[in-house]
Structure 1
Amino acid sequence: MNLESQIETKAKEIHTDGYPMSIGEVLSLYRDGDIDIHPEFQRIFRWNDDQKSSLIESILLGIPIPPIFVSQRGDGIWDVIDGVQRLSTIFQFVGVYKDHNDQVMPPLTLSATEYLPALAGYSWEVSSEPGKVFTDAMRRDVKRAKLEFRIIRKESDENAKYDLFQRLNSGTQLSPQEARNCLLVMLNSQMYTRIAELSESLEVRATIPLTEQKESQAYRQELVLRFFCQADYSGTRTQLREEYGQYLTRWMRKAAGLYGTDASPIDVSLFTRTFSILNEVLGEDAFRRFDGARTLGPFSIACFEFVTSGVSANIEFWEGNKNLLADRIRSVWSAPEFRDHSGTGISPRLRVPRLILNSRQYFSTAS
């Protein structure tokens, strides 16, 4: 198929509309449940009050705001793909925004901005400072201000909104896993909730000590996702056809479609059994380097891949031989099955398949 044919074919798969809407109209959509901004995103996106105040400043001054991208679901509800923070800021300022527990959040009190320093202390209707409330005229101006919307219509290819989300958020301040989390919320919010719960379990936190930076980037949730992806791996030792991050995202999208069915690769029981035994025998040393005498250094992702893949694949054996597991894990660091495929010069595309397959065999016995 030549380029012109490809363009024509793909263009027919995505149907879009674009038009401006007043903030008052958007508020009505939100109150009626006709637009879903996924409050779970509030755990992922991190706008501070200064950033929120700058948005309100832009609305008041008529400064252009980037378009809001939404996707129309089969039931007609709009899923927000890009613009969650902009909309949630507006809804919080007006005092109608509900969090992921369906509780109305405290209204936003503005801070001073570059062009409107007098905004400091102002709120929409109620303020702790006398005279720091928007007038009726100011509220009307805000509600009449326009936001530009780009809508992917429901007859578009079902993957269009997810592809668009990834493109719009590539290169943003989101970490790779934070972007995946947003995608997973849209794909299957129940799977997202379960992954988040598992990442905060006592056993996981005990065996995976992370730096504050890694914690803030949802890295522990990525590791939970990696566990299930590894356990589901049925490929060969050859390198993956794409970068590992892309591979993990693609696998997650497939798993989200199967979650809740008998074919789901998310085996929570296997996960909890694996981390329970790892925490019992080694705790925070489970994924740290062993030099023959002691454990040292930070958490090792290669060790995580090797140990969790091998132990989970042979979980019944190790539950019956717990007293031998600590020595088996420590021996990994001198084993060619691990050492020869986990060096710094080996890319994840090549490392991951080899470590998964090697580990399943390595942990099939105690020696």
Structure 2
Amino acid sequence: MSDPAEDVVEELDSLGHLTGVEVEDDPDSAETGGSEDLIQTPFDPELIDVVTRNTTVDLLLSRVRTRRVDLQPDFQRQAGIWRAQAKSRLIESLLLRIPLPTFYAAEADDEVWAMVDGIQRLTTIVEFVEPEAIAVEPLRLRNLEYLGQEYNQATFADLPARLQTRLRETELIVHLIRRGTPEEVKFNIFARINTGGLPLSRQELRHALIPGEGRAILKEWADSEAFKSATGYGVRSDRMADREMILRFLAFRLTDPGSYTDDDFDLFLRTSMRALNKLPKVAIDELWEQFEKALHGAYEIFGDYAFRKVERKGGSRRLPINKALFEAVSVNLAMMTEDEIAVLIRRHRRVEKKFLDLMSDVDFQAAISQGTGDPAKVRFRFDAIREMLASAAA
């Protein structure tokens, strides 16, 4: 029988770099070519309200200035993908009157637009024309292709008045999904249209469409030394895989894995993110203490191989983080006492042997590799890890 670890594939970030996180081979996942973007339950087509807004750069800037457009300033791909030359070429296109692709946004109950497709383009425009609106340094043009050296290193203020006006009056097309459209349909629409370049990950969509305190919590925890050290500083944040891992931990601390019956794992995570938005600080602090305890315990027990599959044939290759293992191990350790974890740390060799035996179980391999959102597989992997830890401690 072949070793499943040989077939492990690692996720890529928006620049094609390895993220340190294993791709989930989920037949229902849109990210692996599956059907996760299909509607799971019937809906009323009359509730779908998508309108087209013909607006201008100036009007969008006004919305940004008054915080009526949510640019998600910590949106990783917005912050890191576009280099100065790419940004300059976008501004040059506007100056040359070359139309930009359509923008897509979702309207929240307070009429704020969450910009989902086109956020990099809009952020670049704001950075050049009105950088103070998002508290960044003005963008300077460089390496222009057609406008030559005349405007090299120019800011918006350096442009002639006619070009400034041309930029501000540039027309843009925004397809707006109005409030009242069912959430599952909203996510479905963005999954379908989000095909330019590298599609947004599910967590990037959740981040864009579910504003609230949860965003800041996931970012803070992902940036913590506890998380980074426990995962071997190996999880890149560009596609928000780190935040999804933390959300999955929180989801199964807010919902008992043994009672998990949801057929739509993405809906489960969205519901959990909204629940996170409503948690009082005392509950967040308690969850953080549990999370930190679990991360410390996992690293002390498993070392550099925490939350990763291991090869059965004695190989020493360190595989990428497995999300399903991360949630199952971290949640089980979070529910243990400090003394119980201390016993496992002392007996870490025994834990490692039993974990290696568990990795030889075909059903367990399936539970952490394929269709990981299936309720039966969720319950199986959580039970298996709990029993493995209990056996090692006995």
TM-score between the two structures when normalised by the length of structure 2: 0.72
Corresponding letter in the other structure for 2:346: L
Helix, strand or coil: the match of 1:297?
coil
1:5 match: none
Establish whether residue 276 from structure 1 lines up as the match of residue 307 from structure 2. Answer: no
Find the structure with the greater CA-based Rg.
Answer: 1
Corresponding letter in the other structure for 2:388: Y
1:130 match: none
Q: Taking structure 1 as reference, are residues 203 and 93 closer, same or farther at Cα in structure 2, changes over 3 Å only?
A: same
Per-residue CA deviation, residues 223-281 of structure 1 (Å, 9 max, x unaligned), is 3233334553535899x856xxxx2x32221112212237x899333212211223344
1:4 match: none
**8 Å contact 2:257–2:378 — kept in the other structure?**
no
Q: 1:340 aligns with which of 354, 362, 374?
A: 362
**8 Å contact 1:310–1:362 — kept in the other structure?**
no
| Percent of paired sites with the same residue | 21
**8 Å contact 2:187–2:205 — kept in the other structure?**
no
Give the alignment of 1:227-306 within 5 angstroms: 227-231=249-253, 232=255, 234=257, 241=263, 247=265, 249-259=266-276, 260-261=278-279, 267-287=287-307, 289=310, 297-301=318-322, 303-306=325-328
Q: Taking structure 1 as reference, are residues 298 and 355 closer, same or farther at Cα in structure 2, changes over 3 Å only?
A: same
Aligned residues, how many? 339
Corresponding letter in the other structure for 2:298: L
2:206 match: 183
Helix, strand or coil: the match of 2:145?
coil
Give me the whole-angstrom Cα distance separating, in 1, the residues matched to 2:57 and 2:205.
Answer: 24
Q: Taking structure 1 as reference, are residues 36 and 293 closer, same or farther at Cα in structure 2, changes over 3 Å only?
A: closer
Corresponding letter in the other structure for 1:113: L
2:74 match: 40
Q: 1:59 aligns with which of 87, 94, 102?
A: 94
Structure 1 gaps, min length 5 = 1-7, 126-132
**8 Å contact 1:93–1:109 — kept in the other structure?**
yes
1:114 match: 145
Q: Taking structure 1 as reference, are residues 66 and 294 closer, same or farther at Cα in structure 2, changes over 3 Å only?
A: closer
Corresponding letter in the other structure for 2:110: D
Give me the whole-angstrom Cα distance separating, in 1, the residues matched to 2:179 and 2:67.
Answer: 17
Establish whether residue 307 from structure 1 lines up as the match of residue 329 from structure 2. Answer: yes
Give me the whole-angstrom Cα distance separating, in 2, the residues matched to 1:230 and 1:76.
Answer: 32
Give me the whole-angstrom Cα distance separating, in 1, the residues matched to 2:269 and 2:152.
Answer: 43
Per-residue CA deviation, residues 22-77 of structure 1 (Å, 9 max, x unaligned), is 22222223223332222222555521122212221221222121222223332233
Establish whether residue 23 from structure 1 lines up as the match of residue 57 from structure 2. Answer: yes
Give me the whole-angstrom Cα distance separating, in 2, the residues matched to 1:52 and 1:316.
Answer: 51
Helix, strand or coil: the match of 1:147?
strand
Give me the whole-angstrom Cα distance separating, in 2, the residues matched to 1:74 and 1:344.
Answer: 41
Q: Taking structure 1 as reference, are residues 141 and 185 closer, same or farther at Cα in structure 2, changes over 3 Å only?
A: closer
Q: Taking structure 1 as reference, are residues 59 and 311 closer, same or farther at Cα in structure 2, changes over 3 Å only?
A: same
Q: Which has the higher contact order (CA 8 A, sep 6+)?
A: 2
Give me the whole-angstrom Cα distance separating, in 2, the residues matched to 1:300 and 1:332.
Answer: 19
Q: How far is the alpha carbon of 1:359 from its aligned partner?
A: 1.3
Give me the whole-angstrom Cα distance separating, in 2, the residues matched to 1:9 and 1:333.
Answer: 44
Per-residue CA deviation, residues 298-341 of structure 1 (Å, 9 max, x unaligned), is 34526545533432343456245254352343123343476333
Helix, strand or coil: the match of 2:75?
helix
Establish whether residue 355 from structure 1 lines up as the match of residue 384 from structure 2. Answer: no
Helix, strand or coil: the match of 2:74?
helix
TM-score between the two structures when normalised by the length of structure 1: 0.77
1:221 match: 243
Q: How far is the alpha carbon of 1:186 from its aligned partner?
A: 3.2
Q: How far is the alpha carbon of 1:89 from its aligned partner?
A: 1.0
Structure 2 gaps, min length 5 = 1-41
